[in-house]
Structure 1
Amino acid sequence: MFEATGLTPEIHVEPTSTELLITPALLNRWFAPATDTQPTYATHLGKVLSETEITKVHKGFNRLLNQTVKWEGAIAFVHAHR
């Protein structure tokens, strides 16, 4: 993609970590039916998991209700130059 425009990309990935309280409202938002403009966490899981597997993930999070967990992720910083 970048090369076609004459740009060379540099990518730096920064790990992130935060404390996340698992609440009923959070799980309702994550596992609610998606809308045309707002996919949910379950929508994204559905790209690689079956409905049965998504249900298992949901039940696993339900066991963590009202607990604080360490939530890890990453942010990719992309810099393109000539």
Structure 2
Amino acid sequence: MPADAERWRVTVDRTVCVGSGLCAATAPDAFRLDAARRSHPVEEETAASEAVLEAAESCPVEAITIRSAEGVVFPLEEQDGA
């Protein structure tokens, strides 16, 4: 991987996670379910990818947060007047 490739820090709020498995099905290289059926990232930092973003967007309880060096990638806060 090139040294300048964008990296994301991925976290899962396990107190919110309902274990739907959508993240693990959408991005199996990035997410796993544990024995309690709660999601966790395979690695704390991962290469930026459409699959990881899609997994976060598909989470029914929005338990996944993605941050880049510039700030939050997902979920984006709604702007006033948008």
Q: TM over 0.5, yes or no? A: no
State the structure with more CA Rg.
1
Larger RCO (CA under 8 A, 6+ residues apart): 1
Higher strand share: 1
**Which has the larger share of helix?**
1
Provide TM-score, normalisation by structure 2.
Answer: 0.24
